[in-house]
Amino acid sequence: MHEVITHDGVRLSHRDSGGEGVPLVMLHGWGQTQEMFRHQLTGLAPGRRVITVDFRGHGRSGKPQHGYRIARLAGDIRELVDQLGLDEFDALGWSMGASVWWSFVDQY
């Protein structure tokens, strides 16, 4: 597990398989964690770089009293990909994770 810290001080826990090629960033749904992707991570990671993250308030990430709007979660993901230096990546979202990606696209 790795961590990044957002500009408002929230610790985001993430995994990075460190594989090759264009990374795949996978976002879970509300009330879930990045653990929901454990089987996909195992299947994809031997060759491909796969990144999973726990949204704020979920799993091993920080649990602040603020920032639980879709737009803020998308901002957290922007900070994650920026801090990881990802100029290009593929995006996958499950349930609310798809909404976060749509917000990400709209904002950034």
- Nearest 5°: phi and psi at 5? -115, 130
Distance of CA 107 to the CA centre of its chain: 16
- Position 58, amino acid: H
31: left (phi over 0), alpha (psi -120 to 50) or beta: left
Cα 105 from Cα 45, distance rounded (Å): 25
- Nearest 5°: phi and psi at 32? -105, -175
pLDDT per residue over 63-75, tens digit each?
999 999 999 999 9
Domain containing residue 77: CATH number: 3.40.50.1820
- At a CB cut-off of 8 Å and minimum separation 6, what does 81 contact? 25, 89
Q: Do residues 74 and 100 touch, judged by C-beta distance below 8 A?
A: yes
Q: Which domain holds residue 26?
A: 2-107
Question: What pTM did the predictor assign?
Answer: 0.95
**Count of structural domains within the chain:** 1
pLDDT per residue over 23-82, tens digit each?
999 999 999 999 999 998 888 877 899 999 999 999 999 999 999 999 999 999 999 999
